[in-house]
Amino acid sequence: MTTPPPHAGPHRASFADDAEITAFAETLARFERGEIDAESWRAYRVARGAYGQRQDGCHMLRVKLPQGAVSGDQLRALAEVAARYSRGFGHVTTRQNFQLNFVRPEHLEPAMRHLALAGITTSGSGGNAVRNVVACPHAGVAPGEVFDVTPYAEAFTRHFLRHPLGSALPRKFKVAFEGCADDHVATAIQDLGFRARHRTGASGTTRGFQVTAAGGTSSLCTSGAVLFDFLAAGDILALGEAVVRVFHAHGDRVNKQRNRLKFLVRSLGYEAFRGLVEAELARVRAEGAPALPFDPESPPPDAARLARRPPPPPEVLAARVRSARLSGPGEPPPLEIVTEPAPGSLSAFRDTNVWAQRQPGHSVVTVSLPQGDVTSAQLEILAELAEAYGDGAARFTSGGHALLRWVGTDAVPELYARLAAAGLGRGGAGSAADVVACPGAEVCRLAVTRTRTFARFVEAEVRRLLPPASLSADLPVRVSGCPNGCSQHHLAAIGLQGGARRLGTRMAPHYSVLLGGHVDAAGAAFGRLAAKIPARRSGEAVARLVALYLAERRDGELAGPFFARVFDRAAAVLAPFEALGPEDAEPADFVEPGASEDFRPSVQGGECAA
């Protein structure tokens, strides 16, 4: 196992392992010589982040970015790999990873080696492994947080990276850490969710976590149940060991559709599962429980390193983004380059994309990446702007954003001008015009619909039909191209799931609309099916739902709880959009938004389970 760093900041020890990349290259060569079969090669590469995609001979390469934290040099490495070996752009995922598509087999090793030079690995980003450990992207700077969870998530990451059981589980295993009152990383839908807590006793205040287990979405959406009301912070690695051992020993290795931890808990019963975990935890402690590499009550501080560098002028940034080469196939991300922002745009951007840190004089700036997509040139510019205005790093979020932290509040206007010139100045972060989408059928073998272009269509309809003030409302809209829910659409206020419907002899793209998903102190509440709407009509339908929320919400009522409360009324709003028969269908009903050819859904075998 790798040696933990002294602290968990953006300037941290490498996660990469050159010997592992060499072994990957050798295994690929063995497969190409016919010495191992396709199934063995698939299981091997998927656990190291290399997935087959819809197009033969191409891979999606998933890059692991623990806690979403990425330094300026790492942003540049991602940019270089995207430009050399992919399409000149990549995608930020809901697990704070970064994905590259259309990577040829012969480019996998050089891409991995280039990333490794910046301390980045792909190990454990896929397959039946302890996946990327996510953490609140506001950790360390959020007003009112219990404590900064980043060092604890970092230690958990390093303990299970290349762990003997960490990539040999019955199915994937997901972990999240949250320190705020609001759950920004949806701990309730994780296999293990850690929420920071304090406990006060005779000896003083102790750090720890409330721990939930066996959550998940997709089939059998489940909110994790409380495993410990309070677990001392120093015990998190021991507990992780115990739960991973129980899952390894008792999980279903035959039925890949029912082998997540939530299914094991359902089959055993929660109390029986808890008993197994407690017994295994006792064994771990008796063997000598793994310890955190720091004092659990006082982890080393991660002081921001504000090495200011002069930023390029806006017009130079705009020229760089315009001239960068984006290659196909597929649809590149939109580039909304603005060198002369309209009056009031900065104020609107501040309202939705900027908030004050707990450290006086500093702000966090949210860079909204359309559907999580960002070009190589934009990644390089993010690195430069983070070094000019922030702490030299960024944090990717589950909403497809990049956060620039430690920005001097008085420097926000300068930063905004440069973000806008680089096509990164979208306001309305978190609103219905900032739709999160999975990569969809453009590349994914399981997806039914092309979610990225559809999400842009929905955004455009919301902006067209509603006044600009509507973009100030926090209203999560998420789109997935299949039931698996890589966008976490089951948990959105408005969740859209792609599907198909036969009209006569032709197929028409449709979207199931799920309403009312959210996470609160009670756990996860999942969206309920309210309607199935033709894709062409979905943008207007979403706009109507947004208008309903703005008109009828109670003071302080969030969008998810609102739609859960007024579900029947919202379903009635959607009802007129549902009806579509062969006799009244228009040609556009048989074409996905953003496409030109007729809709012909095709689903292939997935590789999520290695």
Cα separation of 582 and 600, whole Å? 17
Cα separation of 357 and 142, whole Å? 6
CA dist 116 to 9, 52, 91, 214, Å?
18, 22, 19, 33
> What is the 3 state secondary structure string of 9-77?
CCCCCCCCCHHHHHHHHHHHHHHHCCCCCHHHHHHHHHCCCEEECCCCCCEEEEEECHHHEEEHHHHHH
Residue 544 pLDDT level (bands cut at 50, 70, 90) = very high
For residue 216, the 8-state DSSP code is: B
Q: H or E segment at 148?
A: none
Contacts of 168 (CB under 8 A, 6+ apart): 128, 248
Tell me which CATH code domain 134-288 carries. 3.30.413.10
Q: Is the pLDDT of residue 589 over 70?
A: yes
Write the pLDDT tens digit of every residue in 250-273.
999 988 778 899 999 999 999 999
Q: Is the pLDDT of residue 4 over 50?
A: no
Phi, psi (degrees; rounded to nearest 5) at 122: -110, 0
**pLDDT value of position 8:** 40
402 pairs with which residues across the strands? 367, 396
Structure tokens at 498: 């792609």
**pLDDT value of position 124:** 96
CA dihedral 368, 374, 378, 384 (to 10 degrees): 70
**pLDDT value of position 610:** 58
Q: Is the pLDDT of residue 5 over 50?
A: no
Mean of the pLDDT values across residues 579-601? 89
Identify which has the larger pLDDT, 356 or 584.
Answer: 356
**Which among 357, 436, 360, 354 has a CA at the least distance from the CA of 397?**
436
- The count of other CB atoms within 10 Å of the CB of residue 481 is 31
CA dist 13 to 56, 330, 478, 596, Å?
36, 36, 34, 48
**pLDDT value of position 579:** 87
Whether the Cβ atoms of residue 540 and residue 505 lie closer than 8 Å to each other: no
**Residue 583 class from Cβ within 10 Å (0-12 exposed, 13-18 middle, 19+ buried)?**
exposed
Q: Is the pLDDT of residue 2 over 60?
A: no
Whether the Cβ atoms of residue 60 and residue 21 lie closer than 8 Å to each other: no
Cα separation of 64 and 269, whole Å? 33
Write the pLDDT tens digit of every residue in 19-52.
999 999 999 999 999 999 999 999 999 999 999 9
Tell me which CATH code domain 436-590 carries. 3.30.413.10
DSSP 385-418: HHHHHSSSEEEE-TTSEEEEEEEEGGGHHHHHHH
Q: Is the pLDDT of residue 9 over 60?
A: no
Mean of the pLDDT values across residues 182-206? 96
**pLDDT value of position 90:** 97
Residue 568 pLDDT level (bands cut at 50, 70, 90) = very high
Whether the Cβ atoms of residue 375 and residue 88 lie closer than 8 Å to each other: yes
- The count of other CB atoms within 10 Å of the CB of residue 599 is 21
Cα separation of 154 and 28, whole Å? 30
Q: What is the mean pLDDT of the chain?
A: 94
| DSSP-based three-state secondary structure for 511 | strand
Q: Is the pLDDT of residue 1 over 60?
A: no
By DSSP bridging, strand 59-63 and strand 506-515 are unpaired
B/e letters for 534-564, b = 16+ CB within 10 Å, e = fewer, are bbbbbbbbbbbbbbbbbeebeeeebbbbbbb
Q: Is the pLDDT of residue 70 over 70?
A: yes
Mean of the pLDDT values across residues 133-160? 97
60 pairs with which residues across the strands? 51
Length of the chain: 610
Structure tokens at 528: 């309920």
Structure tokens at 105: 């087999």
The stretches of 397-495 forming alpha helices (DSSP H) are 412-421, 451-465
CA dihedral 411, 179, 519, 171 (to 10 degrees): 110
Phi-psi region of 266 (alpha: psi -120 to 50; beta: other; left: phi over 0): alpha
**pLDDT value of position 7:** 38
Whether the Cβ atoms of residue 54 and residue 103 lie closer than 8 Å to each other: no
Cα separation of 329 and 167, whole Å? 32
Q: H or E segment at 145?
A: none
Q: Is the pLDDT of residue 242 over 50?
A: yes
- The count of other CB atoms within 10 Å of the CB of residue 114 is 17
First-to-last alpha carbon distance for the chain, in angstroms, is 22
Question: Dmax of the chain from CA atoms?
Answer: 76
**Which among 103, 122, 107 has a CA at the least distance from the CA of 49?**
122
Write the pLDDT tens digit of every residue in 310-354.
899 999 999 999 999 898 788 899 999 999 999 999 999 999 999
Shared fold status for 134-288 and 436-590: yes
Structure tokens at 232: 């001392």
Write the pLDDT tens digit of every residue in 284-322.
999 999 999 999 999 988 766 776 788 999 999 999 999
**Which among 272, 155, 167, 292 has a CA at the least distance from the CA of 225?**
272
In the chain, where are the structural domains located?
18-117, 134-288, 436-590
Whether the Cβ atoms of residue 88 and residue 327 lie closer than 8 Å to each other: yes
* In this structure, CATH architecture of domain 18-117: Alpha-Beta Complex (3.90)
